[in-house]
Amino acid sequence: MLPQKQKEEEAFKGTILEGRERKYTIINERDREKYLTPEEKRKLDSALFHYLSKIEDGRARDGKEPFNSYLVVNVDEPYSNEIAETIKRNGHLK
Protein backbone atom coordinates (compact mmCIF):
# COMPACT_ATOMS: atom_id res chain seq x y z
CA MET A 1 0.00 0.00 0.00
CA LEU A 2 1.30 3.46 -0.89
CA PRO A 3 1.83 5.86 2.01
CA GLN A 4 -0.53 8.79 2.39
CA LYS A 5 0.33 11.66 0.08
CA GLN A 6 2.65 14.06 1.88
CA LYS A 7 2.87 17.80 1.38
CA GLU A 8 6.55 17.52 0.40
CA GLU A 9 7.69 14.40 -1.43
CA GLU A 10 10.68 12.77 0.29
CA ALA A 11 12.01 11.41 -3.02
CA PHE A 12 12.43 14.98 -4.30
CA LYS A 13 15.00 16.02 -1.67
CA GLY A 14 18.15 17.36 -3.28
CA THR A 15 16.52 17.75 -6.71
CA ILE A 16 14.94 20.62 -8.63
CA LEU A 17 11.60 19.36 -7.30
CA GLU A 18 12.55 19.62 -3.61
CA GLY A 19 9.70 20.95 -1.49
CA ARG A 20 7.06 20.03 -4.04
CA GLU A 21 4.11 17.71 -3.71
CA ARG A 22 4.01 14.48 -5.74
CA LYS A 23 1.40 14.75 -8.50
CA TYR A 24 2.22 11.70 -10.62
CA THR A 25 3.34 8.13 -10.05
CA ILE A 26 5.65 6.68 -12.70
CA ILE A 27 6.73 3.07 -13.14
CA ASN A 28 9.72 2.57 -15.39
CA GLU A 29 8.85 -0.38 -17.63
CA ARG A 30 12.49 -1.51 -17.74
CA ASP A 31 12.55 -1.62 -13.92
CA ARG A 32 9.29 -3.59 -13.93
CA GLU A 33 10.83 -6.13 -16.31
CA LYS A 34 14.12 -6.37 -14.47
CA TYR A 35 13.03 -6.43 -10.83
CA LEU A 36 9.64 -8.15 -10.73
CA THR A 37 8.95 -11.85 -11.04
CA PRO A 38 6.46 -12.99 -13.68
CA GLU A 39 3.85 -13.46 -10.94
CA GLU A 40 4.50 -9.98 -9.52
CA LYS A 41 4.19 -8.48 -13.00
CA ARG A 42 0.89 -10.30 -13.52
CA LYS A 43 -0.46 -9.02 -10.19
CA LEU A 44 0.71 -5.47 -10.88
CA ASP A 45 -0.79 -5.48 -14.36
CA SER A 46 -4.09 -6.83 -13.05
CA ALA A 47 -4.30 -4.22 -10.27
CA LEU A 48 -3.30 -1.37 -12.58
CA PHE A 49 -5.85 -2.41 -15.20
CA HIS A 50 -8.59 -2.59 -12.56
CA TYR A 51 -7.87 0.76 -10.90
CA LEU A 52 -6.92 2.67 -14.04
CA SER A 53 -10.20 1.55 -15.63
CA LYS A 54 -12.07 3.05 -12.67
CA ILE A 55 -10.11 6.30 -12.98
CA GLU A 56 -10.74 6.47 -16.74
CA ASP A 57 -14.49 5.91 -16.17
CA GLY A 58 -14.55 8.65 -13.52
CA ARG A 59 -12.71 11.10 -15.76
CA ALA A 60 -15.15 10.36 -18.59
CA ARG A 61 -18.11 11.02 -16.25
CA ASP A 62 -16.48 14.37 -15.38
CA GLY A 63 -16.31 15.26 -19.07
CA LYS A 64 -12.54 14.82 -19.27
CA GLU A 65 -10.48 12.71 -21.63
CA PRO A 66 -10.24 9.21 -20.13
CA PHE A 67 -6.46 9.44 -19.83
CA ASN A 68 -3.59 11.85 -20.43
CA SER A 69 -0.18 11.32 -21.98
CA TYR A 70 2.89 12.89 -20.44
CA LEU A 71 6.49 13.64 -21.23
CA VAL A 72 8.65 12.37 -18.38
CA VAL A 73 12.08 13.77 -17.54
CA ASN A 74 14.26 12.11 -14.92
CA VAL A 75 15.63 14.85 -12.64
CA ASP A 76 18.98 13.02 -12.62
CA GLU A 77 19.51 13.97 -16.27
CA PRO A 78 21.92 16.88 -16.85
CA TYR A 79 19.33 18.76 -18.93
CA SER A 80 16.50 18.50 -16.37
CA ASN A 81 17.02 22.05 -15.03
CA GLU A 82 16.73 23.43 -18.56
CA ILE A 83 13.48 21.51 -19.09
CA ALA A 84 12.16 22.74 -15.72
CA GLU A 85 12.95 26.36 -16.66
CA THR A 86 11.09 25.96 -19.96
CA ILE A 87 8.09 24.55 -18.11
CA LYS A 88 8.19 27.46 -15.62
CA ARG A 89 8.35 30.04 -18.43
CA ASN A 90 5.13 28.55 -19.77
CA GLY A 91 3.26 28.98 -16.49
CA HIS A 92 3.77 25.58 -14.90
CA LEU A 93 6.00 24.27 -12.09
CA LYS A 94 5.60 27.45 -10.07
Instruction: In whole angstroms, give the CA distance from residue 79 to residue 72.
Output: 12
Task: Show me where the domains of the chain are located.
Answer: 27-89
Contact criterion met (CB below 8 Å) for 16 and 84: yes
Contact criterion met (CB below 8 Å) for 66 and 6: no
Weakest mean pLDDT among 8-17, 36-45, 65-74, 83-92: 8-17
* Confidence band, pLDDT 50/70/90 cuts, at residue 28: very high
Q: What is the mean pLDDT of residues 88-93?
A: 86
Q: What is the pLDDT of residue 86?
A: 93
Query: What's the pLDDT tens digit per position in 33-47?
Result: 999 999 999 999 999
